[in-house]
Amino acid sequence: MSLVLAETKDAIGVIVLNHPEKRNALSEALIGEITAALEDFQARNIRAVVLRAAAGVKVWSAGHDVSELPDRGRDPLGWSDPLRVLVRAIQEFPAPIIALIEGGVWGGGCEVAMACDILVTTPDATFAITPAKLGVPYNLGGVLTLMNMIPLPVAKEMLFTAQPIPTSQALNLGMINYIKPKEEIEAFVHGLATHISANSPLSIAVMKEELRLLASAHAITPELFERIQGLRRIVYDSHDYQEGLNAFRSKRKPQFSGT
Ligand code: YXS
């Protein structure tokens, strides 16, 4: 069974996350199907993409597939981790990607949504960034994605509490573009995609890449990079990191000791 449904109509491509049994957890297999669909869309010169889950879902994505996170001692979010590959694929895709969001967005799913260019949600949508709940040390690029989308005090609240925020707050903060009723959201998003696909694809592709390069243009010294990586290693080497994984796997609340 496909974990993702992909279709194109005119110059618009649609990708539907289609693994509700696992709440669209971002497994390597599911991410592989998304990136394959994006490669196919690029070959077909698609001019706008809609990334969504099935209509009416309660969970847009439950984030990184926890069963695929490595045990302690290995960076869980290294460069080639599937979640990192997906975020880059979205950010580097040469046409706008519109996230059509219903239901809860969790963990790395928030970063996937925020890597998209335009976000439109139904009123029930929520966003929860949850590394602290699992004991995961989020990675540099991921933190930068969040910093570019969320005012720092709110980014800190979301990272430190791991609690969902309502999409109404996300709209007030400019994290999302629109909130639309579920009866209207599909036509509204299609209308945005149609406007985009009627404009110059070359101009849009270059401006999207300009914005990506400028948003990530942070000069960091080797010492800064190595210090951050050293700090992150303390976390993914820790008993707390393993406890977060074990607790999730045995469906119980984690007991973090700070070691
Ligand atoms: O028990 P079965 O086999 O039916 O599977 C259950 C869940 O184990 C599975 N599932 C997941 N599997 C792998 N990775 C996940 N992230 C994940 N989430 C869920 O899906 C089946 C149904 O789950 P269930 O019964 O909990 O569904 P629900 O409708 O009662 O609750 C939906 C959620 C999303 C509220 C709940 O599943 C949940 O809290 N999931 C975890 C959300 C989360 O903490 N995600 C962060 C993952 S780690 C990540 O993204 C980054 C590495 S980081 O940590 O840095 O943000």
Query: What are the tens digits of pLDDT across the range 180-236?
Result: 999 999 999 999 999 999 999 999 999 999 999 999 998 899 999 999 999 999 999
The single-letter code of the amino acid at 219 is A
Tens-digit pLDDT profile for residues 228-249: 999 999 999 999 999 999 999 9
Structure tokens at 61: 């994505």
* C-beta of residue 22 within 8 angstroms of C-beta of residue 67: no
pTM: 0.97
Q: What is the CA(75)–ligand 1 centre distance, in A? A: 20
| 178 carries an active-site annotation | no
- Dist. CA 147 → ligand 1 center (Å): 24
What pLDDT is recorded for position 9?
95
Looking from the CA of residue 76, the nearest atom of ligand 1 is 52
pLDDT for residue 23 is more than 90:
yes
Residue with CA nearest ligand 1 atom 9: 22
Is-catalytic flag, 195? no
Average pLDDT, the chain: 97
- Radius of gyration of the CA atoms of the chain, in A: 18
The band of 90, judged by pLDDT with boundaries at 50, 70 and 90, is: very high
User: Is 108 an active-site residue?
Assistant: yes
Confidence of residue 152 (pLDDT cuts 50, 70, 90): very high
pLDDT > 70: percent of the chain: 100
Are residues 120 and 192 in contact, defined by beta-carbon separation less than 8 angstroms? yes
Distance CA 201, CA 203 (A): 6
Round to whole Å and give the CA distance between 223 and 42: 38
Q: How far is the CA of 67 from the centre of ligand 1 (A)?
A: 10
Instruction: Tell me the average pLDDT across 122-137.
Output: 97
Question: Annotated catalytic residue: which of 13, 103, 108, 142?
Answer: 108
CATH code of the domain occupying 4-195? 3.90.226.10
**What local confidence, expressed as pLDDT, does residue 53 receive?**
98
1: pLDDT strictly greater than 80: no
- Binned at pLDDT 50, 70 and 90, residue 141 comes out as very high
Question: What's the pLDDT score for residue 149?
Answer: 93
The pLDDT value given to residue 255: 98
39: left (phi over 0), alpha (psi -120 to 50) or beta: alpha
- Ligand 1 close to Cβ of residue 125 (< 6 A): no
